[in-house]
A and B are shown apart, each in its own frame.
Chain A
Amino acid sequence: MGYLLRRIGHAVFLLLGVSVLAFLFTTLAPGNYFDEMRLNPQIAPETLKALRAQYGFDQPLRQRYVHWANSLLHGDWGFSFAYNSAVAPLLWPRARNTLVLTLSATFFAWLIALPLGVWSAEGRGRLRDRALSWTAAALLVVPELALALGLLALAARTGWLPTGGMNSTNWDGWPYQRKVFDMALHMVLPVTVLVASALPLLLGHVRAAVREVLDAPFLRVAEGHGVGRARLLYRHALPAAANPLITLFGFSLGALLSGSLLVEIVMSWPGLGPFLLEAILARDLYVVIGGVLLSTLFLVAGNLVADLLLYWADPRIRVGARSS
């Protein structure tokens, strides 16, 4: 229990740090949302001044932070100037879309990386091992921006897959199954790009971890006792190699979150990516801070899940936590 409390305390510290950091940057910002209006001759300077006062831009930074933190705790997450509404209701639906994309990509990336990595580690130095590591290197070299654009062009030319958005335009009246199928079809391209970008790293780590375990004496013993190949690999070798992989899970989530930001913009997936870009171009300050904070929240949550898994999977941590 102490272990978990420590992890949660760490996560809270992290979020607090990010919020302060993000707010500190705002002092460096030359200009804000209302500066654009200054160029507009139809808006009187007095109106602008009143607006600035209304949104608290004339107050000192510390006061603004306290004000914002207060609204954060009340579930508003600050105020969006461009949408003239609280940030939170704008963020949630988009965050949900981003999560759908990121989590499915995480799922598929691991689903592919685990058996392939084990398979490649088992055949160390053989043709399949080398072929896989070459494929991974090739995937690593092609950046996801290029991959996303390439796949998009392919889809647009062949018409096999939808080229953007999350669902078809005449989506509204459709029955439930058809909606799900339609959304799945729209997800194929972005998820493919994300999986391809995450795969090389995961594959390399799975292979290295399993390879290390395969040399262990207990596996030789199990083999000598006549344990079958599949059971040997998946029941005995993989759990023993799980520790570094679970830690990697948290990191892979962060990488996929970053990656999905770009992929969403390229593929016009209505997630945090396009929303954040729009907010940056409009200088919609609190939306940007909210987006960054939310992404940190996801990452912290992912790492907490990884810590929980580690606690569950690794008896050393359990025992160590209890005795301390």
Chain B
Amino acid sequence: MTERKKLTTCLALLLGLHALVAFAGFFAPYDPAAQDRMAPYLPPMRVHVIDGRGRWHLRPFAYQLEAHSGSPDGYHEKVPEAVPVKFFVKGAGYRAFGFISARTHLLGTDRTALHLLGTDAFGRDLFSRILFGGQISLLAGLLGTGITLFLGLSLGAAAGYYGGWRDEALMRVAELFLALPWLYLLFGLRAFLPLSVRPAQAFLLVVCVIGALGWARPARLVRGIVLSAKERDFVRAARGFGASNAYLLWRHVLPETSSVLLTQAAILVPQFVLAEMTLSFLGLGVPEPVPSWGNLLSSLQQYSVLVSYWWMYLPAVAMVPFFLGYLRLASLLQSDAANPKIEAAGGA
């Protein structure tokens, strides 16, 4: 495969994964906050196509789960009670992208609820919660990356382009930020912000905290590029023709930084998703009942949950394909940037 093709495949894969999360309302069978107090810690239901007597069915089905008598949390499949899986069913209402109201879900059943990945302590469908939780975690990662890159770009460009004491001061502060152990810094900053806030505020808070801390590395990279770009012949020529600083920066210097910024974005997004997860896992981030990959895992801090209900661990697995995609993207972009042909084409 050529490099370009690899890049396209990787991007398509990532896009697909993000679509799965972005359209969580459609792909998830239930509302993430809908509780069923009669079905706590239901194990994942298996979807069958062959029934107990060895007959094949065109329509997949699951068996209703029944509690063992005398056990608080043991379940077994109630064999004759088949629950056929239906597609494109009408269910709980949701808002796609926050404004398009819809009721159609990809999967659903008529009578008994279908819990593909089991339920949590309140009988909430874990599969739906993982999908909706991805919205929070990924959005936090993406917005945080946006803030960080914006800060890094403007500070780095200012330092590199104007030089002098601004450069000196900014780079000193950047060194400070690079020197600190990252998680300690995150904790420290979070410590000074209010603790008990509503989920939406908490989300914004987390995004800002995460976004405010990572600017030093991109700023240094951008500064380096700007330093070399502002001495390029075409930039000097443009300045000779009387172009203003703002025009020069915007039109000639900053476009040179685009490939570095893209690579940085691919590296930062998974890092920031992880930061959101860490904060929420510890109860410093997005609170219940809004799901995020981090606070879905926080129930594992209870020993009984950790030992007894293995499916509660699944939110930790959910992010692996995303991370894989982003890492692959970063390494592809890096080798792309190292490719001299593209460098020559950009500089010509």
Contacts and interface: CB of A to CB of B under 8 A. Distances in A.
A31 B278 CA distance: 24
B324 interface: yes
A150 B187 contact: no
A115 to B, nearest CB: 25
B317 interface: yes
Contacts of A50: none
A79 to B, nearest CB: 16
Interface string A58-96: 000000000000000000000000000000000000000
A254 B183 CA distance: 10
A295 B184 contact: yes
B191 A283 contact: yes
Interface string A29-44: 1110000000000000
Contact size class for A?
35 or more
B282 A292 contact: no
A210 interface: no
A277 interface: yes
Contacts of A21: 176
A217 B284 CA distance: 55
Given A14-B175, A288-B187, A288-B188, A149 B181 contact: no
Interface string B316-342: 110110011001000000000000000
Interface string B160-188: 00000000000011011001111111011
B316 A146 contact: yes
A153 B304 CA distance: 10
A254 B217 CA distance: 15
B306 interface: yes
Contacts, number: 127
Interface string A10-41: 00001001100110011011110000000000
A184 B335 CA distance: 43
Interface of B: 172-173, 175-176, 179-185, 187-195, 274, 277-278, 281-284, 297, 300-301, 303, 306-307, 310, 313, 316-317, 319-320, 323-324, 327
Interface of A: 14, 17-18, 21-22, 25-26, 28-31, 137, 140-143, 145-146, 149-150, 152-153, 156-157, 163, 254-255, 257-259, 261-262, 265-266, 276-277, 279-281, 283, 285, 288-289, 291-292, 295-296, 298-300, 303
Contacts of A149: 297, 300, 306, 313, 316
24 contacts: A28-B193, A30-B193, A30-B194, A141-B324, A145-B316, A150-B316, A153-B310, A156-B303, A156-B306, A156-B307, A254-B180, A254-B181, A258-B183, A258-B184, A261-B187, A266-B301, A277-B284, A280-B187, A280-B190, A280-B191, A280-B195, A280-B284, A281-B195, A296-B180
